[in-house]
Amino acid sequence: MQPMTRSVPSLTSLAHGGGCGCKLAPSVLQQLLADQPATAAFAQLLVGTETGDDAAVWQVSEDLCVIATTDFFMPIVDDPRDFGRIAAANALSDVYAMGGKPVMALAILGMPLDKLSVSVVREILQGGASICAEAGIPVAGGHSIDAPEPIYGLAVVGLCRPDEIRRNSGARAGDALILTKGIGVGVYSAALKKGALSDAGYAEMVASTTLLNRAGTALARKSAVHAITDVTGFGLLGHALEMARGSGATLNIDFERVPFLKESIALVESGYATGASGRNWASYGEEIVLPPNAPNWQRTILTDPQTSGGLLVACSSECAEAICTSTEAAGYPLARIIGSVSAGEPIIRVT
């Protein structure tokens, strides 16, 4: 990893939030979408807005689907190139989470050019392009505006076979739950802003957030895998709850089995957290059952907004160990079985 560089002024100082912590709270998003036209009437639209899934899916032929998504946010780090890389990996994740393969991206750019030099903005774009090159796709165009805060992301198009689409709503009672990356990116970002994140912690955060979720493409080809979603701004509990709601089932999470970034527990116990964590809990906390006397820091880290987080996978329990082991071997060292799916009301139960 190259040494971190900072723009002048620093990128994070120009934004009121950063990464997926910028997302609107789940409760606010539900209000905004409450009276929007239903999309289910379009027969070729296999995945729309109904279950809060990761991307839209349109079936164009008997054996081909197009996946479309967009994602952008404000800086989570001060290094321009790292910001571009993280934002691009995060945007590509939605296609992987549906089981697809990205084929093309368009850049979304908003920059305060009265505060940032052209060279800094160019580094952001170069960072994003480098991740797209790693994914084997071009950045084929885009749109840019002069904005009061720096914003960067991608609109991404992917392809997939209809039988390989994996929604967040396919979890079945008896399934095991696998998480492919560690939790704690939001905690790290909060510590980074206050100068409390070590160099090793920064390197770990960038390595995790720029690790492409391409495992989703391979996972979707396994019939034992029933549902996939990526864990981003709503935290592990929020995205697990979307899976529970869509699947009409209870998701059980064993806290001791959840993988965390190395410094995240110590940092959250010391009070480092983003405002999004509290907003997340306020939005969906009534549908979460925590252990009696669980300390507040556990709730905080389970609702911690993840930027370019891992995949949450529901698969047949008989195949879970093999799937987790193969995923770990494919380059996801923190992949773990973290719980199970059971029949019941759509809630999350943490033990």
Mind listing the pLDDT tens digit for each residue in 211-246? 999 999 999 999 999 999 999 999 999 999 999 999
The contacts of residue 317 (CB under 8 Å, 6+ apart) are 174, 175, 176, 340
Distance in angstroms (rounded) separating the CA atoms of residues 126 and 233: 24
Distance in angstroms (rounded) separating the CA atoms of residues 278 and 304: 9
Question: No. of H helices and E strands in the chain?
Answer: 11, 13
**pLDDT tops 50 at residue 255:** yes
Pairing of strands 176-179, 225-230: unpaired
Distance in angstroms (rounded) separating the CA atoms of residues 194 and 46: 44
pTM above 0.85, yes or no: yes
Q: What is the pLDDT of residue 108?
A: 97
* H-type alpha helices, 141-294: 185-193, 199-209, 215-219, 235-247, 264-269, 275-284
Mean pLDDT of 77-101: 97
User: Which residues are identified as catalytic?
Assistant: 20
The tokens 């070729």 sit on which residue?
A: 44
Q: What is the pLDDT of residue 4?
A: 60
Q: What is the pLDDT of residue 29?
A: 58
CATH superfamily label, 12-163: PurM-like, N-terminal domain (3.30.1330.10)
E strand map for the chain: 45-47, 56-61, 64-73, 101-111, 139-146, 151-160, 176-179, 225-230, 250-253, 288-289, 311-315, 336-342, 348-350
Distance in angstroms (rounded) separating the CA atoms of residues 103 and 219: 18
pLDDT band at residue 1 under the 50/70/90 scheme: very low
Q: What is the pLDDT of residue 6?
A: 62
Q: Which two tokens stand for residue 230?
A: 């990526």
Q: What is the pLDDT of residue 2?
A: 45
Distance in angstroms (rounded) separating the CA atoms of residues 31 and 134: 38
Is the Cβ–Cβ distance between 251 and 284 less than 8 Å?
no
Same fold, 12-163 and 166-350: no
pLDDT band at residue 302 under the 50/70/90 scheme: very high
Domain spans, the chain? 12-163, 166-350
Mean pLDDT of 290-316: 96
* Cβ neighbours around 203 below 10 Å, total: 12
pLDDT band at residue 166 under the 50/70/90 scheme: very high
The answer as to CATH 3.20.20.70 being correct for domain 166-350 is no
Q: Which two tokens stand for residue 49?
A: 């807005």
Chain CA centroid to CA 52, Å = 13
The contacts of residue 112 (CB under 8 Å, 6+ apart) are 14, 146, 147, 148, 149, 150
Starting from the edge strand earliest in sequence, which strands make up the sheet with 56-61, in order? 45-47, 56-61, 64-73, 151-160, 101-111, 139-146
Mean pLDDT of 15-25: 65
* Beta-bridge partners for 158: 67, 102
Q: What is the pLDDT of residue 14?
A: 76
